A and B are shown apart, each in its own frame.
Chain A
Amino acid sequence: MRVETIIIGLALLISLAGCGAQQAEFVNRDEIDELIPEAQTHVRKVLDGAGIEGETGHFGKPTNMVLWERLPVHYHGAYGAFAETQIDEGADEVSTLNVSLLEQNLPVEPGQTLAWISGKYAGQASTAVAALNEAGNQIEIDPGLSVPPDAGDRFAIAPGAVISHGRKLYAEHCQHCHGVTGDGNGPTAKYLNPRPRDYRLGKFKFTSTGSSVKVTRNDLSQIVENGIPGTYMPSFKLLTEEENHAIVEYVRWLSMRGEIEFKLIQALRNDYSKEAVDSAVASARESDSKLSSSEARQNIVAEMDEYLTGDWVDEFNDDTKFLADQWKQAEDPSALVIPKVARVADTPESRARGRALYLSAKAKCATCHGDAGLGDGSQTLAVQKNPTTNTDYDVPGLFDDWGNPLKPRNLATGIYRGGRRPLDLYRRVHAGISGTPMPAFGTVLKDEEIWDIVNYVMHIPFESRDQRPGDGAGESVPASTEVATVAPDESTDIAN
């Protein structure tokens, strides 16, 4: 009895091992290891303060997020600024605030927290929201404030409600493929082909925006809702609109975090990588033989500190502003690709014109997608150049910006990853697919020409095999077995 108890107890212990709560942590890009430790510390300090006492950086941890106001992310239930209020003389406190809401993501309900972000109450104890009036420009707080805030003081209602909801949903539905950091490297990612998206480049393939413009919220939410056919991204149709929005905001936030991290490392990589510092130390000692290597290194680190407290601050602010503007720009209606001309009627003539363009030197579709649209064009056999390093890839074939091998789409399958509406195909041709070698033809081709191509491409799955040019189902079969028997006879005839 006793032995059995011990065995069962041990078995239980073993089966429970590894069940402990695992803290989700952001991981840094691999490139950070190229930097000298001092530079690495700086990157961590700015990003998330990982391993540095008292530092949270601009992003914090997944479980303890820092919401950086400069990024255009919907973090809060609502976000707004205090407007000038007529204060009644004699009233000893202000409980009705005139406000202008800059964004409202969730309904404002009594009992929610109101937190001041700027002004004299910034970061201070928050007040409970009693109600919001119907016009949405007046808010009751309880208890009131004895001294009114200044006009323009910003506040958040239900602070962080959207993003923290998004994080929970992301952890539940997305993280196992897309990773805690959004690096597309979650535990299940290695089983997938194509690989899950790595958000950290800030690039998303299927957008409604022009080339080199970022993805819109709506694009991301469509992907979450409908999935991507032909890939492992499933549809999350049953999530509510609110849940979908929360996930999208969290993904955008992760994406911005990744981009900022990349910029940070880029800024230091040239001069303060381990390699660069070693060679700088060597050359410093060459010119001054009395200098010890540790002194030379200290000089370089001091120089880096000077840069980081000086020029870098401005550069970083500019970069951040540029990034925020890019994401904001995507939300502007002008960023959308909208055809100027209605779809050309889907007639055999239009398809024939599309087919001609498809093969032409102007559109060059066939060089990648193949003469028959089977995704087997000549470029898939050629060695390509990596656009970032400008060196040849080791193996022939196309690659995407994430370094994964990429096949041009087989247009005969009838699977359209970016959506099957004519508008979706128009946008793929007009703006290209960011992060991939698919170029934008919006400037090269006229709208009518793009529609001709769309009509042709949408028809490819319905071409019968023998109709399909270049596929050659008929030709690849020997014309007749007689060739083999007749030929020797003929040759003997000739010999005779």
Chain B
Amino acid sequence: MKRFWCAFFMFWPIVAVILCWIAPGQNWWFPRGPSGTGAAMSPLGERIDDLFYMILMITSVTFVGTQVALGYVLFTGARRSDTSHDAEGAEKTWFTHGSHNLEVMWSIVPAAVLLFIALYQMEVWAEYRVKDKFPEEVRKGPQAEVTARQFEWRIRYPGLDENGNPLELMPDPQPTDLYTVNDLHLTSGEPVMIWLRSEDVQHSFFLPELRVKQDAVPGLVIPVWFEATKSTEYSLLCAELCGWGHYKMKARLVAEREEDRLVWLQELQAAQNDDGVPDAGDASDDE
């Protein structure tokens, strides 16, 4: 029975190591997404993934090490008690209490590891969250304002001027603004920024494939930037339980080339200014 427990506690770390090893290949960590491999679809996301894998390595090594130590103690303990019937070979259990050296060791080593992680991730964190570190491209302003509400994402885009170029997005709604719901169109291949707001309770703006997650807090306008490397459709979800309809808060992010986005905005503008008179040459009338 003692050997059984020995084997039992050694079995799990082996399973854990095997599972962790094959997990990335099986897409168990991350949503498969448009890449089909579960890889992050944004440059910053890739770095976030690297951090994730680094922490996974550290915790795996710690876990395996702990389990090996546990197995060793059990194994040697079992061996000692096996010989205990024989008075000659019997070995007395070794009691320890309050080893100062050990206490110092297992305080300092994890602290050092944590400090290392804290310093190592700082750069990525700062780039993602600290305004001064935002990439140059997004400082010219946001492409859209995303307002979360129970239970949908309402999006406001700046309108287009006479030449078809986007105006600047103003903090307050403008008569020229364009609106959609659950349909966020942004430029791909370059860092873009949105303003994130909430109309009612806390929500969380979550782009799993781009590794973007930011809470939307009532009363705050939060700038969020990201870069979608591929022109395609991504899922946009709410990641903060916001009420009974939380599961309904699904939307899409369409990342497309800037010229495609402008065409889409022009169509949106035409549709939104539709006065329904057929000879106005408005092809966007959906009736």
The interface centre, meaning the residue of B251, B272, B279 with most chain A CB atoms within 10 A of its CB, is B272
The minimal Cβ–Cβ distance linking B145 to chain A, given in whole angstroms, is: 13
Q: Does B229 contact A (CB under 8 A)?
A: no
Looking at A242-250, A272-280, A304-312, A333-341, the stretch in contact with chain B turns out to be A333-341
Identify A234's interface contact among B152, B173, B277, B286, CB under 8 A: B152
Cross-chain contact B272 with A339 (CB below 8 angstroms): no
Q: Which 9 A-B pairs have the closest CB atoms?
A: A423-B276, A343-B275, A237-B182, A235-B181, A234-B152, A342-B277, A235-B182, A234-B151, A235-B152
The interface centre, meaning the residue of A342, A427, A451, A462 with most chain B CB atoms within 10 A of its CB, is A342
Complex CA gap A222/B183 in Å reads 14
A-B contact pairs, 24 of them (CB 8 A): A191-B244, A218-B287, A222-B286, A227-B152, A232-B151, A234-B150, A234-B151, A235-B182, A236-B248, A237-B183, A238-B251, A338-B276, A338-B278, A339-B275, A342-B277, A342-B279, A343-B275, A422-B273, A422-B274, A422-B276, A426-B276, A451-B275, A458-B175, A461-B173
Interface residues of A in 188-220 (CB under 8 A from B): 188, 191, 208, 216, 218
Complex CA gap A237/B151 in Å reads 12
Q: CB-CB < 8 A to B154: which residues of A?
A: 229
Q: CB-CB < 8 A to B181: which residues of A?
A: 226-227, 229, 235, 237
For A, the interface residue count at a CB cutoff of 8 angstroms equals 37
Cross-chain contact B182 with A422 (CB below 8 angstroms): no
Q: CB-CB < 8 A to B244: which residues of A?
A: 176, 188, 191
Q: CB-CB < 8 A to B286: which residues of A?
A: 218, 222
Cross-chain contact B251 with A343 (CB below 8 angstroms): no
Q: CB-CB < 8 A to B179: which residues of A?
A: 420
Q: CB-CB < 8 A to A229: which residues of B?
A: 154, 181
Q: Does B51 contact A (CB under 8 A)?
A: no
Q: Does B80 contact A (CB under 8 A)?
A: no
Complex CA gap A459/B176 in Å reads 11
Q: Does A421 contact B (CB under 8 A)?
A: yes
Does more than half of chain A's interface fall in helix, strand or loop, or is it mixed? loop
The minimal Cβ–Cβ distance linking A420 to chain B, given in whole angstroms, is: 7
The minimal Cβ–Cβ distance linking B259 to chain A, given in whole angstroms, is: 24
Interface residues of B in 268-284 (CB under 8 A from A): 271-280
Interface residues of A in 319-376 (CB under 8 A from B): 336-343
Also in contact, A459 and B175, with CB within 8 A (given A238-B182, A339-B276, A422-B274): yes
Does more than half of chain B's interface fall in helix, strand or loop, or is it mixed? loop
Identify A423's interface contact among B151, B182, B275, CB under 8 A: B275
Known contacts A340-B277, A343-B277; 18 further A-B pairs (Cβ under 8 A): A188-B245, A191-B244, A218-B286, A232-B150, A232-B151, A234-B150, A234-B152, A236-B248, A238-B251, A238-B252, A339-B277, A342-B277, A421-B274, A422-B273, A423-B275, A423-B276, A423-B285, A461-B173
Q: CB-CB < 8 A to B174: which residues of A?
A: 462
Q: CB-CB < 8 A to A451: which residues of B?
A: 275
Q: Which residue of B lies closest to A343 (CB)?
A: B275
Contact-residue bracket for chain B: 20 to 34
Q: Does A152 contact B (CB under 8 A)?
A: no
Q: Does B250 contact A (CB under 8 A)?
A: yes
Q: CB-CB < 8 A to A188: which residues of B?
A: 244-245
Complex CA gap A234/B277 in Å reads 29
Complex CA gap A339/B150 in Å reads 35
Q: CB-CB < 8 A to B275: which residues of A?
A: 339, 342-343, 421-423, 426, 451
Complex CA gap A451/B276 in Å reads 12
Complex CA gap A191/B275 in Å reads 36
Also in contact, A173 and B278, with CB within 8 A (given A234-B151, A414-B173, A459-B175): no
Cross-chain contact B252 with A423 (CB below 8 angstroms): no
Q: Which residue of B lies closest to A208 (CB)?
A: B287
Complex CA gap A191/B249 in Å reads 18
Complex CA gap A227/B249 in Å reads 12
Q: CB-CB < 8 A to A414: which residues of B?
A: 173
Q: Which residue of B lies closest to A413 (CB)?
A: B173
Complex CA gap A427/B275 in Å reads 10
The minimal Cβ–Cβ distance linking B168 to chain A, given in whole angstroms, is: 17
Complex CA gap A236/B181 in Å reads 9
The minimal Cβ–Cβ distance linking B249 to chain A, given in whole angstroms, is: 8
Cross-chain contact B152 with A421 (CB below 8 angstroms): no
Complex CA gap A238/B279 in Å reads 32
Q: CB-CB < 8 A to A458: which residues of B?
A: 175
Interface residues of B in 159-189 (CB under 8 A from A): 173-175, 179, 181-183
Q: Which residue of A lies closest to B250 (CB)?
A: A238
Cross-chain contact A421 with B272 (CB below 8 angstroms): yes
Cross-chain contact A234 with B183 (CB below 8 angstroms): no
Complex CA gap A144/B244 in Å reads 53
The minimal Cβ–Cβ distance linking A348 to chain B, given in whole angstroms, is: 13
Interface residues of B in 16-38 (CB under 8 A from A): none
